[in-house]
Chain A
Amino acid sequence: MTEAHRVQPSRPWSRQVLAALVRRTGARIGLVWISLLVLVATFAPFIANTHPLYMVVNGEGSSPALANLEPIDWIWLAGFFLALILALVPGKPWVRVLAWLSGVGGAAVLAYALVSPPILTVFEQYREMEAAGTIEHIVRTPIPYSAKDYLRDYGDTGIEAPLAASERRHWLGTEENGADVAARMIHASRIALGIGFIATGIALVIGTLIGGMMGYFSGVVDIIGMRLVEIFEAIPTLFLLLTFVAFFGRSIYMMMIIIGITSWSGYARYVRAEFLKLREQDFVQAAVACGLPLPSILFRHMLPNGLAPLLVAASFGVASAILAEATLSFLGLGLVDDPSWGQMLNQAVQSSTFNWWLAVFPGGAIFFTVFAYNLIGEALRDAVDPHTQRTAQGAGR
């Protein structure tokens, strides 16, 4: 080693990892797919909706799509634009995450307090008005059907293959109640994204706290913590979910929480192992010797250095949470009326014939989403590991 100063741009570790991540083809594919899903989920009411975006009746313009937005639609929109704004504003990462979380929380409170769309929605009215010729001008969404629009006005609509009906156009066919599959899939992407992020987020927070305590204090705390981990690992998530569904009814939020509180044990193990290793590192010992307070030692000096395996595990965890929800819905224990990819898969095999479009499209969506998260996880693992990073460069990346 020479004393000579090596000139290099100063980049924080997070930037380096991010740069290394987007250099990888796998990560790019995964990120593009996930961003596409986020866009689709956020703007679902403007992509697939029976309510027209804009229409003129009797010389009066109105936007039924906006008027019929539900609180959850507003929360998604608020979250999306808040994230966009915060991405451009400089600041500490954890401050921005907190700001986003509180912003979304505030938006949720506001939305449920202020927004009250009509409880009874008559989807047929627009088609009837159009047939009667009372609408002078109309702008529809690309897919003019809502997720819960069962097309009752067409009489005996049921399961139909893509583009089978002559007077209507269903690009991906319809499901057993007659709703448009494409519309339902677009709205279901919210559940896939939401359950992945929230369940994993809950698991990460619990796992980091418990794992961090075990790793730093060791001794009795470690022994008790590890027994707790073993107890939670022994709980079969699916049976717990079945039990809760039986007792408390079906709720997507309950599913998120249950998946979250049963899957933190893996993260706790990772954090514990990292902390056990980091505790002996010189810079942590030096921080103790400087008399720094415990939260600073734990969260400023140790956690950022132990984050790498956690991030990798989390991206795989998102994928498995999505699969858990799909499994539950496929078994018919998911949500009743709200669309979900697993529930559509269920319909593919329920009727006497095999309806391929109900298997291929939702199944493909699940596959690609899980695959995308796995690609990101894989690329992240390479990006945070300096050893594989070097070989990837050597291979000509």
Chain B
Amino acid sequence: MGDPAVGRCVTTEGPLPWILRIVVGLILAFLLLPVVVVVLASFSTTAYLTIPPEGLTLRWFGQVLRDPAYLAAIWFSVRLAVAATLLSALLAIPACYALHHRWVPAAATISALLMSPLIFPAVVIGVALLQYVSMLGLRGNFAVLVLAHLVIVTPYMIRTTLAGLSGCDPALEEAARVLGANRVLAFALVVLPAIRSSLAAGLVFALITSFDEVPVTIFLLPPGQATLPVTIFTAIDQGVDPSVAAISTLLIAATAVVLVLIERFASVRRFI
């Protein structure tokens, strides 16, 4: 009855007990600690952050931004993520439409199968694909890498698209049909706009997932080329140098910007 505290009652109203506030503060500190440490280290003259910190410098950022290996890796990652995401949307949206309307028998089973790469250990998909491309003589093929990423990101695409479709009033599409639109037009003019925020969520999630992917990618890279995370991974494996902190800080900043943009134009909650 016009009372904000009644709308969503987990328990009774009132602030959290102070002890719980302290605990939550500590947990958040734990979550953010490694991020803060990386950012501070990237401005420090030493490879690791020290106490007390030593000199301040922007040298590592300059080094990273001039390093052709990192620049190539960023470009490679972006191309891969965009190609995999767009292809995934192109194949997944029609499939979801058919599944949603139960135009195929055993639609529930089929959606479960389409989602199954999500529950497979990624490293297993990676080694299986490694053996597969070796047999086919396609090792290091970019198209194979795009298809591998498509397998990884499609479950996210399917999940958000199906959620969008089931949240969409079926009467909308029926109304468009009664008003004279054929199925394709009704889908394009009415259904797609109605589920656009779900689609956007799926696309963003797919992009981020593909950009971040390591355990499958690492087995399938063309010689001499690598995605950005794999480049950082290899750099760390070979021993830490300060440029790793700098490129990590750039990734942290990019992630923060993306999140703030999402929060501004939609809500982060719907992306989970």
Is this pair of chains taken from one and the same complex? no
Which positions in B face A, CB cutoff 8 Å? Answer: none
Which positions in A face B, CB cutoff 8 Å? Answer: none
